[in-house]
Amino acid sequence: MKKSAFASITLALAAPLLAANVHAQAFGKADDAVQYRQGAFQIIKAHFGALQPVVKGQVAYDQAAVLADVEILDQVSNLPWKAFGPGTEGGKARDDIWLDEEGFKAAQKKYLDSLGPLTAAAKAGNLDQLKKAFADTGASCKACHDSFRD
């Protein structure tokens, strides 16, 4: 085998391992990535959860408070995804995340896309639109958890 062919084969076989190592190193170690994404998801859970009593009519609708929670969701919702790379397995994440990367990215996109109507409803001050957008965002969260989280 020629030296260049051997080098190409070796690199092709080693690339996934190198990528996993590089991604894990971005967080120091896999546990750091798990803690990072879990922390981001806890913030998302807290601010999305704060909307639930509003859409259920259990507390008075306060547009400023709703908008504040939604704006935090818009910012924080982009954070956890970079902590799902090769070499960062663990936590409550199922192996399906790494086995079905395309499906996981589609679920991520569906969630992120669902925030647009939620933000628009919060900015408009329209409670009926907020209720629908909240339900759609919640459904995207549930679908991802059902497929990719233990």
Which DSSP helix (H) or strand (E) runs through 42? Answer: helix 30-49
Size of the chain, expressed as the number of residues it contains: 150
Lowest mean pLDDT among 16-20, 50-54, 104-108: 16-20
DSSP structure class, residue 83: G
**pTM for the structure as a whole:** 0.82
Mean pLDDT of 124-132: 97
Please give the domain boundaries of the chain with CATH numbers for all domains.
Answer: 3-148 (1.20.120.10)
Higher pLDDT, 28 or 108: 108
pLDDT value at position 94?
A: 96
pLDDT value at position 86?
A: 86
Q: Is the dihedral of CA 91, 96, 99, 103 positive or negative?
A: negative
Query: At CA 59, angle to CA 71 and CA 56, rounded to 5?
Result: 80
Mean pLDDT of 72-94: 94
> How far apart are alpha carbons 14 and 18 in whole angstroms?
6
Answer for the pair 83, 37: CB distance below 8 angstroms, yes or no: yes
Mean pLDDT of 88-92: 93
| Residue 4 burial (CB count, 10 A) | 8
pLDDT value at position 73?
A: 97
Return left, alpha or beta for 126; rule: phi > 0 is left, psi -120 to 50 is alpha, else beta: beta
